[in-house]
Structure 1
Amino acid sequence: MRKVCVMEGDGIGKEVIPEALKVLKELGDFEIIKGDVGLECLKKYGTALPDETIEKAKEADVILFGAITSPKPNEVKNYKSPIITLRRMFDLYANVRPINNFGVGELIGRLNNYEFLKVKDVDLVIIRENTEGLYVGREKILEDDIAISERIITRKGSERIIRFAFEYAKRNNRKKVSCIHKANVLRVSDGLFLKIFNEIKEKYNNIKADDFLVDSTAMNLIKYPEKFDVIVTTNLFGDILSDEASVLIGGLGLAPSANIGGKKALFEPVHGSAPDIAGKGIANPMASILSVAMLFDYMGEKEKGDIIREAVKQCIINKKTTPDLGGNLKTVEVGDEIVRYIRKRI
């Protein structure tokens, strides 16, 4: 039996992941292994990622992760982010974040009161390098008023994420891959990333390739998202751009993601622990449920992933949503509605 290590984490992670598990169990037969993680875990055990949880993650085929609350800077000595630690530990080098509003973007815009949102169809994917860049955590203080962070870009890391993006495009019948960078200023680090992109693109003659500066990309994602199909970029840029792009699909409550390596994968909603609404029962579980759809894609069962995505779409169309999408349902009720639709399909 396939094993899934479930880490709910903090805040709304404890509310949305149970709804994702409903969907997971409805469509597959899995052994669920639960592991503690996050700020509450830190207060309880003295670590945000206990060894016991790590062993459970090693034992599992895949990981389903909720959200964590990070302590404030300097609040905890030698704090290490559990999600970044897991990405490095299992070499989950590819972060895949689909930006898809299921063809109902105009409706989502109205539900969200986004008057500027006129997009009818957004369907792009942001593929972010997940183990390098500024997030390597190499920081130091030279003097009281000088702090330095190292940004690491390697040929190995760049080659594999860029190749992953082109293979993803090929596998999913995507037409174009865009490299996002700031090589006009970061001439050495992003210069290397762009150079490698230009080398690799020559091996994929059937897929269009272009590149954009990250600042112009930030504008074009909102004004002209149709310019993009598959985006490949470095760690920090991918993190920021994918959060920005989520506005096109109704916010982070609809933004799933996958962290993929050579032997293991971790699936998580893009949103955080949202302590301001935790415990109120109004958190949108769709991002975590759509992350389960990506889990099925990864396991070679895309038809099940498509059923989940269609169920989410129908809930949006029929306004069976939480308040962030203009509805009045609770977190649990949205999960129940999605399960109800899935049962009709199977």
Structure 2
Amino acid sequence: MAHRQLSWLLHRGRGLASTIRTSYGFDYALPLRRSITYMPRPGDGTQRTVTLIPGDGIGPLVTSAVVEVMKAMHAPLSFERFEVSGKMDKVPDEVMASIRRNKVCLKGGLATPVGGGVSSLNVQLRKELDLYASLVHCFNLPGLRSRHENVDIVVIRENTEGEYAGLEHEVIPGVVESLKVITKFSSERIAKYAFEYAYLNNRKIVTAVHKANIMKLADGLFLESCREIAKKYPGIKYNEIIVDNCCMQLVARPEQFDVMVTPNLYGTLVANTAAGIAGGTGVMPGGNVGAEHAIFEQGASAGNVGSQRLVEQKRANPIAILLSSSMLLRHLRFPSFADRLDQAVMAVIREGTYRTKDIGGTSTTQEIVDAVIAKLD
């Protein structure tokens, strides 16, 4: 049920505003009405423990921002912190035990070495916890100028197979074979998640991204699975698009896309392209979810560990992970806290006084945090 809860709670705030709706579903010019539609179950207000992995680079800086804002809101969360680096051979056993126990994790970026024999810990986490669905929300933020308007794209990608399976070996010196694995089981469940998300969140179109004109068996199986699931959701329009044409269409007319479902590698490319179009990777939230566990982190991966200069100057953008932590709050059935956080973040962006360099300002991470806290109800 965890994926159903994430899907439903993620956009529960839509329609609460009095008159003006932004692409994120809220009205920040007028106060939101109090809702009585969320009736908590007994025990829903109990404090929850969240595993915290600050990560590498800017990770400790932006995750500390989340902890500070949660404390200011008196959110019913406590954090169990573990130091993990992408340079490690594997995720420590005590960290895996913590996530399995708490069910939810907030994570900064973990550096992934380029080349060499060290595998990505990000991928290890997703595979070991079977976090098969990655969700990245790329949308125009009110007050933040971008090249395109009316961008509101949700990229849902399969998180455990494809090229990310990491099945590579050297056949003979100088010849390397890399296997792309796609199964009907995983293709059907990611397609079902995408259509279920669209159905529960009043989305109208699901577009499958593929390269079946070349990879006729692997991507052909992915498309076949999407088509079968699409028949069960007649109220949702289903499209297909080849990945190279998809990238061109994204930079030309991104407003045509709604929910996009992809195999693993294509999803990374599409999500980062859509994020760049809508305002940058520093402001796009995301999460990885499976049947039992969920990890929330910056949505688009490009630059998620930042540069050493950002760390030294303490000017990393915390907006993406703050909005991801709002998703976390909804996942844990704390919607009123999520609404407050969303409103505060959007108000800061809309006013434009405090912004980090990547979105046209000179503010420090702490100045953004202080501004968000000042906007909390």
* TM-score where L is the length of structure 1: 0.90
Seq. identity, %: 35
8 A Cα contact 1:36 1:49, kept in partner: no
> Counterparts of 1:218 and 1:301 in 2: how far apart (Å)?
36
Name 1:242's counterpart in structure 2: 271
For residue 238 of structure 2, what is the aligned residue in structure 1?
209
1:120 equivalent in alignment to 2:132 = no
Paired letter, 1:284: N
Gaps of 5+ in 2: 1-46
What's the counterpart of residue 24 of structure 1? Answer: 70
Report the Cα distance in structure 2 between the residues aligned to 1:238 and 1:27, rounded to whole angstroms: 36
Q: Helix, strand or coil for the counterpart of 2:180?
A: coil
Which residue identity lines up with residue 12 of structure 1 in the other structure?
Answer: I
Amino acid in structure 1 at the alignment position of 2:367: E
For 2:267 and 2:97, the matched residues in 1 are separated by: 29
Task: Give the residue type in structure 1 aligned to 2:135.
Answer: V
Say whether the 8 Å CA contact 2:149–2:255 is kept in structure 1: no
More helix by share: 1
Deviation at 1:103, TM superposition (A): 4.3
What do residues 149-185 of structure 1 show as CA deviations (whole Å, max 9, x unaligned)?
1111101100110000000001111111111111111
Maintained 8 Å contact 2:194/2:261: yes
Count the aligned residue pairs: 325
- Please tell me whether residue 188 in structure 1 is matched to residue 217 in structure 2: yes
**What CA distance in whole angstroms lies between the structure 2 residues aligned with 1:244 and 1:307?**
29
Counterpart position of 2:85 = 38
Question: Equivalences for 1:270-289 in 2 at 5 Å?
Answer: 270-271=300-301, 272-276=304-308, 277-289=310-322
Deviations for 1:5-45, whole angstroms, at most 9, x for unmatched residues? Answer: 000011100110111122333252112100121146x3xxx
Cα distance between partner residues in 1 of 2:150 and 2:373: 25
1:96 paired to 2:135: yes
Identify the residue that residue 159 of structure 1 maps to in structure 2: 188
2:113–2:120: 8 Å Cα contact kept in structure 1? no
In structure 1, C-alpha distance between the alignment counterparts of 2:293 and 2:86, rounded to whole Å: 24
Q: 2:51 — aligned with what? A: 5
SS of 2:50 mapped into structure 1: strand
State the partner residue of 2:33: none
The structure 1 segments of at least 4 consecutive aligned residues displaced by more than 4 Å after TM superposition are none
Given the two structures, how large is their TM-score scaled by the length of structure 2?
Answer: 0.83
Instruction: Look up the match of 1:69.
Output: 111
Contact persistence 1:178–1:209 (CA under 8 A): yes
- 1:327 is matched with 361
Cα deviation, 1:250-277, whole Å, max 9, x if unaligned, reads: 2111122100000110000134211342
Please tell me whether the aligned partners of residues 38 and 48 of structure 1 are also in contact (alpha carbons under 8 angstroms). Answer: no
Q: Is the 8 A contact 2:142 2:350 kept in 1?
A: no
Q: Point out where structure 1 has 5 or more consecutive residues left out of the alignment.
A: 110-116
* Residue 340 (structure 2) pairs with residue 340 (structure 1): no
Match of 2:313, SS state, is: coil
Deviation at 1:144, TM superposition (A): 2.0
Determine if contact 1:65/1:267 at 8 Å carries over to the other structure: yes
**d(CA) in 2 for partners of 1:205, 1:303:** 33
Contact (CA 8 Å) 1:102, 1:122: kept in 2 or not? no
Paired residues for 1:100-179 under 5 Å: 100-104=139-143, 107-109=144-146, 117=147, 119-179=148-208
**Alpha carbons of 1:226 and 1:27: their partners in 2 closer, same or farther (altered >3 Å)?**
farther
CA distance in 1 between counterparts of 2:364 and 2:79 reads 25
SS at match of 1:135: strand
What whole-Å deviation, never above 9, does each CA across 1:193-246 have from its counterpart, x for those lacking one? Answer: 101111111110111111111111101111111111000000000011101111
CA contact (8 A) 2:86 2:121 kept: no
TM-fit CA distance, 1:68? 1.6
Return the offset for 1:48: 4.8
Task: Give a deviation string over 1:39-75, Cα, whole Å, max 9, x none.
Answer: 46x3xxxx4522222222222131000012233422x
Report the counterpart of residue 312 of structure 1 in structure 2: 345
Aligned to 2:40: none
Question: Are 1:179 and 1:197, in contact at CA under 8 Å, matched by a contact in 2?
Answer: yes
